[in-house]
A and B are shown apart, each in its own frame.
Chain A
Amino acid sequence: MKIIYSFLSILLLILLLLPNFVSDYILGIFVLIFFYAYMGQSWNVLTGYAGPISLGHSLYLGIGAYISTKLAMSFGVTPWIGMWVGGLGAALVGLAIGFLGFRFGLKGVYFVLLTIAFGEIGRLTVLHLKPLGHMMGLFVDFKPGFVNFHFRGNLPYYYIALGFVVFSLIVVRALEVSKWGRYFVALREDEDAAESLGVNVFKYKMIAIGISSFMTALGGTFYANYIFYLHPTSVMSMWVSIEIIMRPIIGGLGTPFGPLIGSFLLTPLSEIARSYFTKAGLEGIHIVIYGLLLIAAVLFFPGGIFAFIKKIVKPILGESKEI
């Protein structure tokens, strides 16, 4: 474990110093890497650790983004406060969905379909709400300043997004060694066994979805104040949910570093593919590649890249003791 922590410290140091050496464009890619790593981590708490599969996390992203943005635009509330309100809003919705799904014992694909249904209901509803921009979308007025969460250039966003990632890693690591986290994993592995050992299945699934939706919504605020434009199709569609889940799956589901590794691999790839292939008139090919990667990940690395790396590293570090 010590080796991992020292490695992480060095990595963090490099990332803190990195902006001195690279261009704004590269920084922009790093912002996206961090953003998706963070979103993936938020999703990972529910699906990777506790088990229920959500394909509707765009809903929480959207709720966070719209609430904080609306608070800022209509009431002048700084997004730094609005994001927590958005988080609470999303957590309430997440708990409501969780209550329905878990109270009625929906599992597997049935729960997936429930989350898709609510995601789509959310998207279609926002699409028809005038105060949220209707079909035109919501443009965020650019008012640079720390209080407004609006900045010129990528540098501030880089550090904020990095902060998000560190925050999410700490949350997940704290969960892993806590009673909650241990119970989450037990639920994921075998609900009946967990229940027989005193784990309140309903309660801990609710905790998991609450944390997960809350964290996702915080990311939504970041997104709104980085992109400055919110449209249900770009923020709340199922495609957004797929973007969120891709990285932890490729990197390693239910592991703290999976989302990060996945994002470091996938985000630059998709950015390069997007710009390169769009220029060549081959729009959409990066999604084809994504799809193939997903299939390949499931078929050949079911545990994600992280498990693969661990397998290689283990002989070097020696058998790890219970951590």
Chain B
Amino acid sequence: MSNRAKLFLPVVFFLGMLGLLLYGLGRNPGEVPSALLNRALPAFSKPDLLDPARTVSVDDLRGGVFLVNVWATWCPPCHVEHPYLVEISGREPDVTFVGVNYKDDVEAARTFLAERGNPFKINIADVDGRLGVDLGVAGAPETFLIDATGTIRYKHVGVIDNRVWQETFVPLLAELR
């Protein structure tokens, strides 16, 4: 390389870095990916939120498409998301909606579902948050899609609204069926 050519190295390096930063602008730095993607749903055994005498285990989430929504009454965005979940749960008969009530006051959670509608066929009470840790949950709401083989196929962090549902979940569900 000639001596003059070497002087172009800084500007070339800088343009490369600019490209990287441009790429960086188009993405969301806050979303932590799930390490469990395309892996089996971890084994668990937790009490039913509405019927504490009953135990829900991983075997109850087999043989169909499941949408697992991690929620809590202390989480304001969950309140926003709830009506939409109620709405779509009625529209999607072949998807089983599962609610994981995460680190919540169980009584408050029952009242919440009684008053605002219960979109979930299965309700799991995760009072100590262990199931949340096993799922790699970092907060609420988070939503997982489980396929018929019990494999986690997608994780969504944040509120599900009509746009997210139509753009992300509908195509994925079509694929899973």
Asked if A and B are interacting partners, one says: no
Query: Which residues of A approach B to under 8 Å, CB–CB?
Result: none
Interface residues in chain B, defined as those with a beta carbon under 8 Å from any beta carbon in chain A: none
